[in-house]
Amino acid sequence: MSIANPVATASMRINGERLWQSLMDLARIGATPKGGVCRLALSALDGQGRDLVVGWAREAGLSVTIDQIGNVFMRRPGRNNSLPPIMTGSHIDTQPTGGKFDGNYGVLAGLEVMRTLNDHGIQTEAPMELAFWTNEEGSRFVPVMMGSGVFRGAFTLAHAYAATDVDGKTVKDELQKIGYLGPEVPGQHPIGAYFETHIEQGPVLEDHGKTIGIVTGVLGIRWYDCIVEGLEAHAGPTPMHLRRDALQVATRLMQEVVACAGRHGPEGRGTVGMVQVFPNSRNVIPGQVKFSIDLRNDSDAACDAMDADIRGVAEALSRETGLAIRLDLVSSFPAQPFHPDCVNAVALGAEALGYSSMRCVSGAGHDAVYMAQLAPAGMIFIPCKDGISHNEVEDADPAHITAGCNVLLHAMLERAGVVG
């Protein structure tokens, strides 16, 4: 779809002050003393936050529909309403010690796009929609990305309904209580293309001094449990050459996890985050070490290559030392590349607006991952201060907030088409 009248929209910009004000207004609901936000999914505060956003959407003339998992869709009609909508969205639930921007930015940037189109009296060819998805954070209820996951069909509505919080309250009851158990069947809602604007939640953009991250995809993940079996013995009487020290072998393998990430760059990641030493006693040679391995990369092939690499290293180490090493894959999430058309729309938008930009990957999951399995999708990242997120001190520069929203506006217009 092409823009019928590019001159009319090329100079169009969102209202950064209005967007910032909306972010601050929403952040007052569930505000924490340290400047963050605590608005857990489907809590009374989440209900208030939802009401505020939906109220703003109605004021902007958007029509609102709600599905059975509480996902909310706010629609601005186009000229041809038989076309699937160009959608943007994110989430407004937060972590217990969350910030003002994670998720909220993506939702309110979408609202600001709609307000801007109204200001300029723009009619798009395809309709546009703004969505917020239920329980993205997964803090109060598991699984994470619940609303978009049910919409995608990754798990059933019944499974999501049955999830309980620590007090035994269910998702279905809590949806009902805040008035967001809607009638629409999740997933019965076509999408033409999906964009999500988000703070990066990492340090790469800031490190490169770039304003816009053109997100090419989300990293695939492999989680392993590793066990090295040695032999417990007294630290004094056992000479060095007769030991079967599980920790000494395990630490060599841990170093290899990091080295493996380096061998499969630039997006390879390798982390050992959890270690248990048995018996964990000062004067006993460790008899067993259990540790976690988290490997990530930007394609399933690269994840497979890292898997083969680390298994090969573990086998060689086991042969050399005579200690048994077990490596069990416990979880795996495929890499999710974004659609070239959407990635290009973001790149073109950033370029046309004169913002510095770079291609990057997302190391964290987002609702856009599920949307990418249903429709062409893409993401726009902006820097956050010191790369910090899921923290009350989470912060972002108002100029970057504005820039990301302008890119969203132009990327959505490029996909929706403008009636000239």
184: which strand partners? Answer: 67
Q: Which is nearer to Zn ion, 102 or 414 (CB)?
A: 102
Cβ of residue 136: shortest distance to Zn ion, in angstroms?
6
Q: Which is nearer to Zn ion, 142 or 259 (CB)?
A: 142
Q: DSSP assignment, residue 85?
A: P
Which pair of tokens denotes residue 146?
Answer: 């619940």
Q: Which position has the token pair 């609901």?
A: 29
**N-term to C-term CA, the chain:** 13
Element (H, E) at 233: strand 233-234
CA distances (Å), 59 to each of 86, 178, 266, in order?
20, 21, 46
Q: Which is nearer to Zn ion, 144 or 317 (CB)?
A: 144
**How many Å apart are CA 132 and CA 141, to the nearest integer?**
17
Cβ of residue 389: shortest distance to Zn ion, in angstroms?
8
Q: Is residue 404 involved in binding Zn ion (CB under 5 A)?
A: no
Cβ of residue 95: shortest distance to Zn ion, in angstroms?
9
Which pair of tokens denotes residue 129?
Answer: 């929609």
Q: Which is nearer to Zn ion, 138 or 334 (CB)?
A: 138
Restricting to residues 363-382, name those near Zn ion by CB under 5 A.
Answer: none
Cβ of residue 92: shortest distance to Zn ion, in angstroms?
10
168: left (phi over 0), alpha (psi -120 to 50) or beta: left
Cβ of residue 116: shortest distance to Zn ion, in angstroms?
23
Q: Which is nearer to Zn ion, 50 or 244 (CB)?
A: 50
**How many Å apart are CA 372 and CA 339, to the nearest integer?**
7
Cβ of residue 137: shortest distance to Zn ion, in angstroms?
7
In this structure, what are the phi and psi dihedrals at residue 373, rounded to the nearest 5 degrees?
Answer: -85, -5
Number of residues in contact with Zn ion, rule: CB under 5 A?
Answer: 2
Cβ of residue 38: shortest distance to Zn ion, in angstroms?
15
Cβ of residue 39: shortest distance to Zn ion, in angstroms?
12
CB atoms within 10 A of CB 298: 23
Q: Which is nearer to Zn ion, 103 or 376 (CB)?
A: 103
Q: Which of 336, 4, 361 has its CA nearest to residue 145?
A: 336
Q: Which is nearer to Zn ion, 9 or 94 (CB)?
A: 94
Q: Is residue 46 involved in binding Zn ion (CB under 5 A)?
A: no
Which pair of tokens denotes residue 415?
Answer: 């996909």
- The residue nearest Zn ion at its CB is 103
Restricting to residues 81-120, name those near Zn ion by CB under 5 A.
Answer: 102-103
Cβ of residue 41: shortest distance to Zn ion, in angstroms?
12
Virtual torsion, Cα 25, 29, 32, 38, nearest 10 deg: -120
Q: Do residues 415 and 378 make contact, with C-beta atoms less than 8 angstroms apart?
A: no
**How many Å apart are CA 54 and CA 342, to the nearest integer?**
27
Q: Which is nearer to Zn ion, 148 or 402 (CB)?
A: 148
Which pair of tokens denotes residue 316?
Answer: 């060689």
357-362 vs 212-218, strand pairing mode: parallel
Q: Which is nearer to Zn ion, 141 or 291 (CB)?
A: 141
Residue ranges binding Zn ion (CB under 5 A) = 102-103
